[in-house]
Structure formats: structure tokens, C-alpha cells
Amino acid sequence: MPSMNTLTITIGILGLLVVVLGMFLGMTMYRIKQLTRGQSGSLESIIKENNRLVKDALTTLEKQRLEITQIQEDAMNAIHNIGVVRFNPFKETGGNQSFAVALTDKKNNGVIISSLYARERINVFAKPIENGQSSYTLTDEEKAALAQSKQ
């Protein structure tokens, strides 16, 4: 009788071991299916394909990083600041038909365009601006337009 009891216990333990191993095998198969995303082929070929996709993504990311840097540099040189002042250069006649426009970038480089309106003609002047200054003498209106563009 004692040997029958030992045999029953051994069979019970082996049965329990088979159930645990079956659950472990099922979990392993589920994990492999998740890893391969249902694709057919060897695990090695799937890993190689995933590595290739990661390398392609890194290459694309580096290209985008360079493009963003270029866009940022271009943006620094684009016109960001505008100042406009209208005025009357001839106090006795006319209205505020003349103007000064300052167009500058983030580095305060750009141009001031001035127009003087008279009945007989219109004069237009352009003065370069570097670092917020001009090598040409600025009128009060041009200075005001430049100050307005820096705000």
C-alpha cells in the first residue's frame, strides 16, 4: 500500500509539472507572437528587419535635425521686425504722404526705406542697417522707424 501512495503522489506531481510547463509554453508562444507581430519567418530575420527599420529611422531623424537647423538659421535672417513712420517733410503743405520703413531680422540687420513725397516728384532712399546701426546718417523719422522695429 505504501508504494501505491508514493506512486499516486509521484503521478500527481508529474501531472502538476505538465500543467505548469504547458502554461509556461503557452506564455512563451504568446510572447514570441507579440515579438514577431504575427509575421512569418525566423526570429533572426524579423530582428534583422527591425534593426534595418531602426537604422532607417535614425538616418531620417538626422536628416530632419539638419533641416531644422537650416530652417532656424534661415529664420534668423528673415525679416522679423517692422517699423513704419509716416510724416510730412513740408510743414506748410500736404499731409503725411512721406514715410520711413525699417525692416530688420533677429540680429537687427536689414534696411530702412524712406520716401519723400512732393507734388512734383517722389524720392526713395534705402539705407542698410547692421547690428541696429547704419553707416549713413538717419533722419529723425528713420530713427523712429528703427526704434519701432526693435520693440
Domain segments of the chain as ranges: 1-38, 41-77, 81-149
Q: Which of the four pLDDT bands, split at 50, 70 and 90, describes residue 88? A: confident
What are φ and ψ of residue 84, in 5° steps? -130, 130
Between 69 and 2, the higher pLDDT residue: 69
* Cβ burial 14-31 (10 Å sphere, 16+ → b, else e): eeeeeeeeeeeeeeeeee
Between 24 and 37, the higher pLDDT residue: 24
Q: pLDDT value at position 43? A: 75
CB proximity list for 114: less than 8 A, separation 6 or greater: 98, 99, 100, 101, 124, 125, 126, 127, 139, 141, 142
What are φ and ψ of residue 95, in 5° steps? -115, -160
- Mean pLDDT computed over every residue of the chain: 88
**Lowest mean pLDDT segment, chosen from 65-69, 71-75, 100-104:** 71-75
**What's the mean pLDDT in 91-113?**
88
Contact 86, 96 (CB under 8 A): yes
**Beta pairing partners, 99:** 86, 115
Q: pLDDT value at position 38? A: 62
How far apart, in whole angstroms, are the C-alpha atoms of residue 67 and residue 73?
A: 10
E strand segments, the chain: 81-87, 98-104, 110-117, 122-129
Q: pLDDT value at position 2? A: 56
Q: pLDDT value at position 106? A: 87
pTM: 0.58
